[in-house]
Structure 1
Amino acid sequence: MNIEKAVEVLDQMRLPNGAYIASPSKDYHYVWIRDVFYSTLPFMNTPSERFEKAYHALFDLFKRYEWKIDIHTKHKPTFLYEYIHSRYSVDLEEIDVEWGHAQNDAIGAFLWGVGEGVRHGQKIIREKDDLRIIQKLVQYLQCLEYWHASDNGMWEENMELHASSVGACVAGLEAVKMLVEVDPELISKGRETLSYLLPRESETKDVDLALLSLIYPYRVVDRPTALVIIENVANSLERTNGCIRYHHDQYYNEGSEAEWCFGFPWLGLCYLELGMLHKAQEYRLKTERLISENWDIPELFVGGSNVPNGNTPLAWAVSLSYLFLKWVRNTDIISSTSYYESNAE
């Protein structure tokens, strides 16, 4: 299998401004902050124009709407449109459509990507104005009191307190504290929330695919908690063509929950983080089975069928599959550098 074909597919979804659309499909021909984050993860560890330009585009987006950030560093948003929007046009402009924009995890993801990118030598910070934006986003999360704030979460649905959102913010704040001022209490409050909320995702969801983000990429849970999360997800959510997001998910549900293709490589990446190479190899085979020669990996297979939906390819799915297969072929390196192995209790 030519895994470098994946980069060609991702490049087809890369815009001239450096950002990525979620998919070429009609429904997903937009820029999501979160999707840009996941689409660029394969390029994070080594200085890359793909990574740097994507983050420059997001910095420019935040500068365009800095007036909104300024308001909500002092006053909490009341309506969803007042939050930093999660989805934009290809020109990086807000879209005047009702949407679940309260997505604190997207802000945490951006901050984490900036901090980790800088740590890996990426030329992300161009000027002091970029640092100003980072500082204001920290203040935005503080104003929201993210550690006990309801939001729409990774799946853009009902408002409640999500462990995956809190964890993303904790990770993001940890990552940028070397660049800007971050009150340590801002991080400790988030960790306190995780300590009582986990291993549940929220009040209504005991198991959720989004929880994998706390293991990879964020590494914000200890090894025992990570093992519980990954066991719960694998045992409860895994299906034939990927993973369902959570029980009773109604998105593309035709008699049963839709099966999301990036579930397999995401589980594989988490097993690599845990140093469980034998399990990672299992998911390598499961992931490869879903990849066609042209790497058009769909978002999901419609529930109760073997039919992919129209959001094909999905940049997020292509990205995680490519990243996982590339890493799993270098298991000697992974086994010696695994975060959870080197930090085992």
Structure 2
Amino acid sequence: MLKQLHEVLETMRLPNGAYIASPSKDYSYVWIRDVVYTVLPYLTTNCTRYQKAYHALLDLFRKYEWKIDIHTKKKPIYLYEYIHARYRKDLTEIDEPWGHAQNDAIGAFLWGAAQGVRQGKPVLRDEKDREILQKLVRYLGCVEYWDHADNGMWEENMEVHASSVGACVAGMKAVRLLVDVPDELIHKGENTLQLLLPRESVTKETDLALLSLIYPYQVVDRQMAHRILVKVTGKLARTYGCIRYQGDQYYNGGSEAEWCFGFPWLGLCYSVLGNAAKREKYWNKTKKILTEDGRIPELYIGGTDQPNGNTPLAWAVSMVSLLQKHMPEEALVGAE
């Protein structure tokens, strides 16, 4: 099945090394965050998919370096001034209004680039790439990510999101061996997390995005990880996956949409915590929503048994692949 999932991901891989989120009409674009999650299965393999994806994103940042330079000194005011969250296939900006204030995407990129370097992958091609990492750190410092209302992982309402702050903390910690990261930039983010968690924000008691603080970032302690998981599993888990948060209106057909990557994501979180029984529980739930062709949808429309048109979703395919890699061989019987 890993080969099949890889082949599905290949259909969304672009010649420049980046990935579109989905071949659907609405999602046939490149999101920074989605690329980071999509290539995680390749982090510990010998293939070049991982570094080539980061080279594509680094080229994107080089193209818009002038914008980054401005906002290492002056906070963005309008959404279009932020580093954009999504791009055309040729990695150029899209000229339409969008919730581009997504600090977590920049934190995710920094974290992922550093993980690649740690695995011995040639993510950084030259000193210019390292300079880009340094400027992104300064960008997050300039926007004061620890106290900054952004659009968050779901690109929606502007408020301080724990998942965004946590991604930035993880990114800062990961790259401090590669570039200069003042301790203060990390400590301010950690202080915000202490105040916010286990909430996602002032308006959201819990949110699926909080799982990122456990996997892949591992920026919370074991006790807080358990508190987050109790909230997510108790309030957000459904039949086909997890709702993102209570009251979510996206593809709401009478109830909140159920996101398919919720189950493998929970399995990965429990794997990080060494809970084999819970990891297997969510692997079994994942198997029930696996399609024969591995084309895992984004979500099931709320109140229905119908997936939406964003099928396959690269991020979801990646999560299933990652969880399968975490499973012992005996647990994979019947998954082929």
Paired letter, 1:137: L
Is 1:73–2:76 an aligned residue pair?
no
Q: In structure 1, what is the equivalent of residue 314 of structure 2?
A: 315
Once residues 3 and 11 of structure 1 are traced to their aligned partners in structure 2, the CA distance between those partners, rounded to angstroms, is 12
* Counterpart contact for 1:46–1:122, Cα < 8 Å: no
Unaligned residue ranges in structure 2 (runs of 5+)? 332-336
* Counterpart contact for 1:47–1:121, Cα < 8 Å: no
Q: List per-residue Cα deviations over 1:98-149 (Å, max 9, x = no partner).
A: 0000000000000000111100111101000000100000000000010000
Size of the alignment, in residue pairs? 331
TM superposition shift of 1:47: 4.1
Structure 2 SS opposite 1:298: coil
Is 1:172–2:174 an aligned residue pair?
no
Q: In structure 1, what is the equivalent of residue 127 of structure 2?
A: 128
Structure 2 SS opposite 1:170: helix
Unaligned residue ranges in structure 1 (runs of 5+)? 333-345
Q: List per-residue Cα deviations over 1:243-284 (Å, max 9, x = no partner).
A: 000000000001000000000000000000000000100111
TM superposition shift of 1:18: 0.1
Once residues 94 and 329 of structure 1 are traced to their aligned partners in structure 2, the CA distance between those partners, rounded to angstroms, is 43
Once residues 43 and 231 of structure 1 are traced to their aligned partners in structure 2, the CA distance between those partners, rounded to angstroms, is 30
Q: List per-residue Cα deviations over 1:66-104 (Å, max 9, x = no partner).
A: 000000000000000000000000000000010000000
Q: In structure 2, what is the equivalent of residue 209 of structure 1?
A: 208
Q: Rate the CA distance shift 1:188–1:203 in 2: closer, same or farther, 3 A.
A: same
Alignment of 1:97-116 (within 5 A): 97-116=96-115
Structure 1 SS opposite 2:278: helix
Q: In structure 2, what is the equivalent of residue 93 of structure 1?
A: 92
Once residues 105 and 331 of structure 1 are traced to their aligned partners in structure 2, the CA distance between those partners, rounded to angstroms, is 36
Once residues 167 and 292 of structure 2 are traced to their aligned partners in structure 1, the CA distance between those partners, rounded to angstroms, is 34
Once residues 307 and 317 of structure 2 are traced to their aligned partners in structure 1, the CA distance between those partners, rounded to angstroms, is 14
Structure 1 SS opposite 2:184: helix
Structure 2 SS opposite 1:231: helix
Q: List per-residue Cα deviations over 1:133-173 (Å, max 9, x = no partner).
A: 00000000000010000000000000000000000000000
Paired letter, 2:181: V
TM-score (norm 1): 0.95
Once residues 281 and 21 of structure 1 are traced to their aligned partners in structure 2, the CA distance between those partners, rounded to angstroms, is 30
* Counterpart contact for 1:142–1:186, Cα < 8 Å: yes
Structure 2 SS opposite 1:171: helix
Is 1:225–2:228 an aligned residue pair?
no
CA RMSD of superposed structures (Å): 1.0
Q: List per-residue Cα deviations over 1:169-205 (Å, max 9, x = no partner).
A: 0000000000000001110110010011000000000
Is 1:243–2:242 an aligned residue pair?
yes
Q: In structure 2, what is the equivalent of residue 297 of structure 1?
A: 296
Once residues 96 and 112 of structure 2 are traced to their aligned partners in structure 1, the CA distance between those partners, rounded to angstroms, is 27
Once residues 260 and 241 of structure 1 are traced to their aligned partners in structure 2, the CA distance between those partners, rounded to angstroms, is 7
Q: In structure 2, what is the equivalent of residue 58 of structure 1?
A: 57
Is 1:192–2:191 an aligned residue pair?
yes
Q: In structure 2, what is the equivalent of residue 24 of structure 1?
A: 23
Q: In structure 2, what is the equivalent of residue 42 of structure 1?
A: 41
Identity %: 64
Once residues 22 and 328 of structure 2 are traced to their aligned partners in structure 1, the CA distance between those partners, rounded to angstroms, is 27
Q: In structure 2, what is the equivalent of residue 281 of structure 1?
A: 280
* Counterpart contact for 1:48–1:122, Cα < 8 Å: no
* Counterpart contact for 1:108–1:172, Cα < 8 Å: yes
Stretches of 4+ moved more than 3 A in 1? Answer: none
Q: In structure 1, what is the equivalent of residue 150 of structure 2?
A: 151
Once residues 176 and 104 of structure 2 are traced to their aligned partners in structure 1, the CA distance between those partners, rounded to angstroms, is 17
Structure 1 SS opposite 2:223: helix
TM superposition shift of 1:325: 1.2
Once residues 28 and 46 of structure 1 are traced to their aligned partners in structure 2, the CA distance between those partners, rounded to angstroms, is 27
Q: In structure 2, what is the equivalent of residue 339 of structure 1?
A: none
TM superposition shift of 1:331: 9.2
Once residues 331 and 188 of structure 1 are traced to their aligned partners in structure 2, the CA distance between those partners, rounded to angstroms, is 43
Q: In structure 2, what is the equivalent of residue 335 of structure 1?
A: none
Structure 1 SS opposite 2:241: coil
TM superposition shift of 1:45: 2.0
Q: In structure 2, what is the equivalent of residue 257 of structure 1?
A: 256
Q: In structure 1, what is the equivalent of residue 118 of structure 2?
A: 119
Paired letter, 1:327: H
TM-score (norm 2): 0.97
Q: In structure 1, what is the equivalent of residue 334 of structure 2?
A: none
* Counterpart contact for 1:277–1:331, Cα < 8 Å: no
